[in-house]
Amino acid sequence: MSSKIETKCIHEGWKPSQGEPRQLPIYQSTTFKYDSSDAMGRLFDLEAEGYFYTRLQNPTNDAVAAKICALEGGAAAMLTSSGQAANFYAIFNICEAGGHFIASSSIYGGTYNLFGVTMKKMGIECTFVDQELPEEELAKYFRPNTKAVFGETITNPTVSVFDFEKFAGLAHSHGVPLIVDNTFATPVNCRPFEWGADIVTHSTSKYMDGHGVGVGGCIVDSGNFDWSEHAEKFPGLTTPDASYHGITYTERFGKGAYITKATAQLMRDFGSIQSPQNAFYLNLGLETLPLRMERHCRNALAVARFLQSQEQVAWVHYPGLEGDRYHHLAVKYMPDGTCGVLAFGIKGGREASIAFMDKLKVASIVTHVADAKTCLLHPASHTHRQLTDEQLAESGVAPDLIRLSVGIENAEDIIEDLRQALQ
Ligand SMILES: *Cc1c(COP(=O)(O)O)cnc(C)c1O
């Protein structure tokens, strides 16, 4: 039965049979018992499916991954300890030393640093591109060793909307997959696979969890990218793995090849697992995700309109606003709404912005975004303070940019708070 997303949020993943717990059990166990040495041995050869050690797989985590997989419309998925781990694995699974990939320069600061600094030390090169460039210009950045293209559905913190069709076309005509971080939109508002993306990542720490209780991440594979067709680019998936008795992932696992490889190699060796307890909290968050996204979007639009009408406010970026530079892309890719995050600047620049933030009472200053409570942050003095002015400009973060994450309180109370602080 193909149900709607609200129903999937409740019923996908854990499907109890007669007499089993109604709610997802927390399998708080590092290990799992087997009756014979041989039965366990087959698991290590990836010949049989089953659980043996939570660093590789855990039933609670798998149920939650399966739910997110269903929400995105994917073929296979895995949870990770954080969004950072998800984005690292997503690239490293197909791009090793000597490889190159292309990423939008507007992505989240943490990912920008991971790709541009840390992965560079591993011999992997990332070219950051202005995502507004026309296709012909972007095509020039591809090299023979390019392995992937990476973007964010709605960028954190500049709330720019990614043009899926443009990038999917480019990636596929160069024989590489499109990987999209769908954290801000969530599958409730956007399903990147429907627009040509091949792999989706999430920081589940944001709207999916929704209450700011657990850091986590997820990778979902659509199963649509044909690795074998570009076998020479992706030997890790299309040639035998010596660490698993020479199995070839694409041959053995088909649409599950990419996620199986990421689990069997990267999770085995790096171990960035989500704890089953956190997966349980994440599952609770997912149950109410559609309700919350609707409210976040409605509140954010009301707040964006209010800010726009205030003379102390220099500018407001929110793709839901009719006059916004990304409104047309938002309408195309996210007709039901975008997210609760918006960016704005206050006249008087950096100092005025800081003075304003310190006056707020309902909204709090926290290094977080996208949960139930309205919060805000000044990237130039917080998340992005490691970046040089040049890098700030490149990622489109103005020095006066305030990132406001509108929560699910009553919109009038949020607006009243902003009003008194502006005054
Ligand atoms: C927060 C965030 C991340 C990093 O996720 P963590 O769970 O904090 O590691 C990655 N991408 C986006 C878009 C984010 O907002």
Of residues 184 and 38, more confidence is placed in 184
Q: What is the pLDDT of residues 174-201, one digit of tens each?
A: 999 999 999 999 999 999 999 999 999 9
For residue 20, give the DSSP letter.
S
* pLDDT score, position 159: 95
pLDDT at position 339: 98
Per-residue pLDDT tens over the stretch 230-288? 999 999 999 999 888 899 999 999 999 999 999 999 999 999 999 999 999 999 999 99
User: Residue 104 has which token pair?
Assistant: 């939008």
| Ligand 1 neighbourhood includes 215 CB (under 6 angstroms) | yes
Of 335, 53, 48, nearest to 194 by C-alpha is 335
Element (H, E) at 298: helix 289-308
Three-state SS at 374: coil
For residues 152 and 168, what is the distance between their CA atoms, to the nearest angstrom? Answer: 13
- Rounded CA-CA distance 353/261 in Å is 46
Residue 209 CB less than 6 A away from ligand 1: no
Kindly state the average pLDDT of the residues 293-322.
Answer: 97
Looking from the CA of residue 183, the nearest atom of ligand 1 is 13
pLDDT band at 292 (very low <50, low <70, confident <90, very high): very high
Q: Is the CB of 156 under 6 A from ligand 1?
A: yes
Percentage of residues of the chain with pLDDT beyond 70: 100
Report the alpha-carbon distance of residue 221 to residue 103 in Å, rounded. Answer: 18
Do the strands 341-346 and 100-104 form a parallel or antiparallel pair, or are they unpaired?
Answer: unpaired
Please determine, for residue 350, whether its predicted confidence score (pLDDT) is greater than 80: no
Q: What is the pLDDT of residue 86?
A: 98
Mutate to test the pocket of ligand 1, among 68, 183, 200, 338 (most ligand atoms within 8 A of CB): 183
Q: Is 152 in the pocket of ligand 1 (CB under 6 A)?
A: yes
Asked whether 379 lines ligand 1 (CB < 6 A), one says no
Is 5 near ligand 1, meaning CB less than 6 Å away? no
Cα 374–Cα 378–Cα 380 angle in degrees, nearest 5: 160
Structure tokens at 334: 């996210």
The whole-number pLDDT of residue 8 equals 98
**Choice between 38 and 162, residue whose per-residue pLDDT is larger:** 162
Which atom belonging to ligand 1 lies closest to the Cα atom of 184?
13
Tell me which amino acid residue 132 is: E
16 Cα–ligand 1 center, Å: 32
Residue 1's pLDDT is 55
pLDDT(395) > 90: no
- CB–CB of 46/38 below 8 Å? no
Where residue 81 falls among pLDDT bands split at 50, 70, 90? Answer: very high
Strand order in the sheet with 341-346: 313-317, 341-346, 402-405, 375-377, 364-365
Residue 157: asked if its preceding bond is cis (omega within 30°), the reply is: yes
pLDDT-derived band at 328, boundaries 50, 70, 90 = very high
Mean pLDDT, rounded, of the chain: 95
Indicate which residue's Cα is closest to atom 8 of ligand 1. 83
Q: Which of 208, 172, 402 is nearest to 310 (CA)?
A: 402
pLDDT at 364 (0 to 100): 92
Q: Which residue owns the Cα nearest ligand 1 atom 6?
A: 83
Query: What's the whole-number mean pLDDT along residues 307-330?
Result: 97
pLDDT at 245: 83
CA torsion sign for 367, 191, 407, 317 is positive
Ligand 1 in contact with 183 (CB < 6 A)?
Answer: yes
Q: Is the pLDDT of residue 366 over 80?
A: yes
